[in-house]
Structure 1
Amino acid sequence: MSVAGGLWRAVEHAVSVGAQALQVFTANQRRWEVPCPSDGDARRFRAAVSDWGGGFVASHASYLFNLASPDEGAGARSVRGLAAEIGRCGLLGIPWVVLHPGAHLEGGDRQAVEHGVHRVAARLAAAFDAAGHLHPHADGVGVLLENTAGQGTCLGGDVADLGRIVDACPARERLGVCIDTAHACAAGYDLATEEGYARLMAAVEGAVGLGRVRLFHVNDSATPCGARSDRHAHIGLGHVGAAGFARLVRDPRFAAHPMVLETHKGKDMAEDRRNLRVLRRLAAGDDPGKAACDVEGLKE
Structure 2
Amino acid sequence: MGPRKRKNEDALEDEKEVDNITKKEEAVEEERGGRKRSRGNKYIGAHVGIQGGIWKAVESCVEMGGYSFALFLGSQRSWKRPALDQKAAEKFQEQRCQHGFDPAHILPHGSYLMNCGSPKDDVFEKSQALLVDELNRCSLLGLSLYNFHPGSSLGTITTEQCVEKIAGAINHAHQQTPSVVTVLENMSGQGSTVGGKFSELKSIIHKVRDQTRVGVCLDTCHAFAAGYDLAAEGGVTAMLDEFDQEVGLHYLRAIHLNDSKGKLGCHLDRHEDIGKGNIGISAFRDIVNEPRLDNIPLILETPGRPGFEYPEQIELLYSLCETK
Question: Out of 115, 120, 124, which is 2:170 matched to?
Answer: 124
Could you list the runs of 5+ residues in structure 1 that have no partner in the other structure?
A: 133-138, 287-300
SS of equivalent to 1:194: coil
Which of 56, 59, 73 is equivalent to 2:122?
Answer: 73
> Runs of at least 4 residues of structure 1 off by over 3 A?
none
1:100-144 Cα deviation digits (max 9, x unpaired)? 01101226xxx81111111111111112223x3xxxxxx121111
Q: Distance in 1 between matches of 2:192 and 2:323?
A: 39
Q: Secondary structure at the match of 1:3?
A: coil
- State the distance in 2 between where 1:221 and 1:285 align: 27
Q: Name the amino acid aligned to 1:275.
A: Q
Distance 2:297 2:60 in 1: 17
1:15 pairs with 2:15: no
What is the CA deviation profile of residues 205-242 of structure 1, one whole-angstrom value per residue up to 9, with x for unaligned ones? 12320111010001111111111011111111111110
SS in 1 for 2:313: helix
Does 1:152 find its partner at 2:224? no
Any residues of structure 2 matched to 1:250-261 within 5 Å, and which?
250-261=289-300
| Equivalent pair of 1:17/1:269 in contact (CA under 8 Å) | no
> Is residue 176 from structure 1 mapped to residue 225 from structure 2 by the alignment?
no
TM-score computed with the length of structure 2 as normaliser: 0.81
TM-score by length of 1: 0.87
Determine helix, strand or coil for the equivalent of 2:114. Answer: coil
Distance 2:302 2:200 in 1: 25
- What amino acid sits opposite 2:63 in the alignment? S
Residue 78 of structure 2 aligns to a residue in which SS?
Answer: coil
- Which one of 122, 127, 140 corresponds to residue 91 of structure 1? 140
User: Which secondary structure does the structure 1 equivalent of 2:320 belong to?
Assistant: helix
RMSD: 1.8
SS at match of 2:193: coil
The one of 270, 280, 297 equivalent to 2:318 is: 280
Identity %: 34
* Structure label with greater radius of gyration: 2
1:64, 1:4 → 2: CA distance? 20
Q: Tell me the alpha carbon deviations over residues 153-203 of structure 1, each in whole angstroms, 9 at most, x when there is no partner.
A: 101111111111000111322001100001101111110113533332133
Q: 1:38/1:269 Cα in 2 relative to 1: closer, same or farther (>3 Å)?
A: farther
Compare relative contact order (CA 8 Å, sep 6+) and give the higher one, 1 or 2.
2
| Per-residue deviation, 1:269 | 8.9
Picking from 69, 74, 93, the partner of 1:27 is 74
Residues 121 and 169, structure 1, Cα contact 8 Å, conserved in 2: yes
Give the one of 266, 269, 272 matched to 1:227: 266
Tell me the amino acid that sits aligned with residue 166 of structure 2: V
Deviates more, 1:59-68 or 1:246-255: 246-255
Q: CA deviation at 1:270?
A: 5.5
Aligned residues: 275
Point out where structure 2 has 5 or more consecutive residues left out of the alignment: 1-47
The letter for the 2-side match of 1:244 is A
- Correspondences of 1:102-121 after superposition (within 5 Å): 102-106=151-155, 112-121=158-167
SS of the counterpart of 1:226? coil
Is 1:4 the equivalent of 2:4?
A: no
CA distance in 2, matches of 1:84, 1:251: 35
